[in-house]
Structure 1
Amino acid sequence: MKAITYAEYGDPDILQLSDLPTPKVGPGEVLIRVRSAAVNPVDWKVAKGYLDGLMVVEFPAIPGWDVAGVVEAVGLDTPEWSVGDEVIAYARKDWVQGGTFAELVTAPVRTVARKPKSLDWHQAAGLPLAGLTAYQLLARLGLKDGETVLVHAAAGGVGLLAVQIAKALGARVIGTASEGNHEFLRGLGAEPVTYGDGLAERVRELAPDGVDVVADFVGGVLDSTLAVLADAGRHGSIADGTVAEKGGISAWVRPSAEDLTALGDLADEGRLTVPVAEVFALADVAKAFELSQSGHVRGKIAIEVSTN
């Protein structure tokens, strides 16, 4: 099979298109023929070695954790799935080696959910990691119908999904973004505010008594978070581990077939969509990494691996 690999840590130019054997399918796993895979910032961060102290990487490694595709084979004791099923997965394993930027990838069934019918292959591939990150943080913060939530980086890949999930839960959503993304956020149902100096004052103008929940998807905004949080409010971050020292939750996304199914249901109910910014060929993953590193992407970056 064709796959993108790297044999050492480094910049995107370490990536190369390689020929590799078909992966072995272990018990409790499925083999997925990849239609589309999505790029997340963590993919190039792992390839640069930024997570070396956290995760085991076995070289040569195939990057990528998001996937949408068709079940090609099933392992032992896998009653949940059959050959031909259309699926999505946040296919993160306990180590980094056999990722999703390949024609075939194995995934534990605990990571796999049915592909939402309402999303195309690239949208579906962009849902798992970002969607689960948003969904799980909001769930841990206990966001409820009628509450007000401030979403930091609301127009980013995770934030724009958090906005939609929060709206689906019945919350009022205030979202930080550059002015160029304000109309986009209004279209998702959020009330946009410009980030930067004076943010707390701008949020207080919209919510004089403070907000019930703050979900931080960018980091470096703890002071603003605390300044707008209502009494007994809850806050959490995926990008700032120090929030725990101030009563917040520091979160790291987990694979979950159950949570991913819930996200798929929201999509098929018309309450969640996944904007796709750009689609690259498998051979051009390095270019996709460079675009992701630029930090100026609204929506997901997808890798088209096959069309059948």
Structure 2
Amino acid sequence: MAALLAAAALPHFVSNQFYMHMANLALLNAIFTMSLGLIAAVGQLSLGHAAFAATGAYISALGALHLKLPPLLGIAASGLATALVAAILGKILLRLRGVYFVLVTFLAGQVVTLVALNWESVTRGANGLVGIPPISVLGYSLGARAQFYYFALAAFVGVFILLRALMRSQYGRAFRSIAENIELAESSGIDASRYQVIAFAIGSGIAGAAGAVMAHYIRYVSPDTFTFHESVAYITMLVVGGRQTLTGAVLGAAFLTPLPELLRGFVSMQHIIYGAVLVSVLIFLPGGLASIGHRIAKMTRGGRPRP
């Protein structure tokens, strides 16, 4: 609660527009990472998560530009449409496991990028869609960064509460059983395929809605907005923060979102530094940043935390 109150008060203490932009991106990245974490919760790792964000972004942008759909309606439609597409694909793709699923999701992401790049009559190709209207609530435009921040914060809190409730339900228990040992879960009567499709559809649908929100925030979307690099960034945020908890996804997004801007003067070193951070966390904090509190507590009690 204290963290939420501090987050709500942020615009009153931060007037710098760059910092507000970073805060907005961190909130959206936290949503992307939490949604990816839901898919990881059933033991699968998607390298095409950004493709679903791109799908949602294009659906909402095209709806707003050509059908004059209100942004909020477009965002909702994007989430539902993306979830439906993911459910259909999941029926096929989730038959694969491990590295095969990872490779297929990577290829699916590349296909989405190629479609966005070459279907110029609809997507305008490499030029992208410009002039996307900002989100408005009850006729009040959220074009300014400080105004959008509260919408992003509300969306983040809503997704956090939704996913926490889901993970504490019978679905969450089934997800964890499947991730730990899918054969044992199936032998105990759990329909692993069904639960994996559900997690994949919900996680991808949230990513699609968040992608639509991003498009209305930056008022532009192109094939370069959501690429393979974004998919890797979401995975890195999840691992660095801690993939076992929602809090880990949030910490990973908060920690890594500002890094590209902080390293802008060292473009050639960005990937090396990202890799160094990831390897360091895997070695010294395999539970991610979210495990620091637990490790400190064990150390203060005189115990030695497990690596």
- Please, what TM-score do these two structures have when normalized by structure 1? 0.26
* Greater strand proportion: 1
* Greater helix proportion: 2
Higher relative contact order (CA 8 A, sep 6+): 2
- Please, what TM-score do these two structures have when normalized by structure 2? 0.26
